[in-house]
A and B are shown apart, each in its own frame.
Chain A
Amino acid sequence: MVKKYLSKIYMGIIFIFLYAPIIVLAVFSFNESKSRGNWTGFSLKWYIELFHDHDIRSAFYYTISIAVIAAIVSTILGTIAAIGINSMKGRTKALILNVNYLPVVNPDIVTGISLMILYISFNLDFGFNTMLLSHIVFNTPYVILSILPKLKQLDVHMTEAAMDLGATPMYALRKVIIPEIKPGIVTGFLMAFTLSIDDFIISYFTKGEGVTNLSIVIYSMARRGVRPTINALSTIMLFVVLLLMILINKRSNGVEKKKLKREV
């Protein structure tokens, strides 16, 4: 069973590699001094500084609000588009899917720059709106990619059955199709939200004066050197993410358990 031990050691090393940096960041966020080598004592002063930092507070506000709005808009836009695209055939459909796929494939920097050029060419004022618009642009393809497979899996006779029973096409859409693709819609929404929260490059190129997001703030702080307030921020974010993922995991496990129960 040497193999089992080797496997465990190997995975252990991989996970140490993946987590050590983040954990180090977290540990030193509680360090009294700025130093990253010496532990001078436990302190929450970096957290307090974090809360008082105006830049970070406004960045946080913008990050969340853009992520929420962009996720909602791109989910609605993407759902309608996916339903439409699913009914298309042939070369038109292929063309649309290819163009739709472009922001997914393109490096963020190219997407960001192309949008920047677009806005300037149309003399738009850079600001909250341009950043929001950009987020919707790059989120929607991912929403569509989440929903299309679910649509393809739908029994084609389901809409016909609904109409056979007296439902108008709209009623069938509302009461039959959308409930069926709901998992895809939810996944799409979560993806859009996550991508927006995390985005740096596209926001960087399409924001305006006074508008920023967390990633950009961290970038400008990091460029000036190491700051323990960033450590504090990263610890908090790590915590939130951990919590979210545990919640999501529990929820999907709970659904699994309920399913098993009913079968018994």
Chain B
Amino acid sequence: MGVWIAALLTLCIYSFLYKDNPFYKFAEHLFVGVAMGYSAVLTYRDGFVPYVWRYLKAGFTGEPEKLLIIVPTIIGILFFMRFIPRLSWLVRYPIAFSLGLGTGIALPLGIQANIYQQMYGTLSPFGALGKLSPFQIFNAVLMVIGVLSTLTYFFFSAEHRGGIRWVSRLGIIFLMIGFGSAFGNTVMGRIAILIGRMRFLLSDWLHLVR
């Protein structure tokens, strides 16, 4: 029965290819509801229970240091104030804590990962030029040219005139090649999902293929 339900829901979604219709709308809304229900259960079972409930239980049964969890719990509960118009300003407190802590932790790590490490990657081949083949040296030079010209394209504080305009145009060329290669890969990614569904319909549902 599960296979039939899955197959019928699949066909409801595919009916959108003809045009928008009640079957598609039904399936679309059902998807959103079921997905949110799934996330809600998992957030409770694998978020609230291990991080809050078990800590509180342990705190009240022999590990009093774990009762400190009450503080972030109260801060988190303030999120519920969003639904009481008179008290909705209290939502700013959990937002302040989560944004402040999250941004503070991520800031030095982000600089390291996205700036220093990427700059290292761009320049590191030039530290070992003697060990590289001519083709690898060409690629390293091409990479530096690509990075600098693309960055120039995104630099809007100076007008793109004269030399900057030509460097910026070179950057666009690198960007177009990048987007083209992304498109080429995306085609495969999207068709892969379709293959999965077709296989389900032809094999698991209609038994036309073993």
Do they bind each other? no
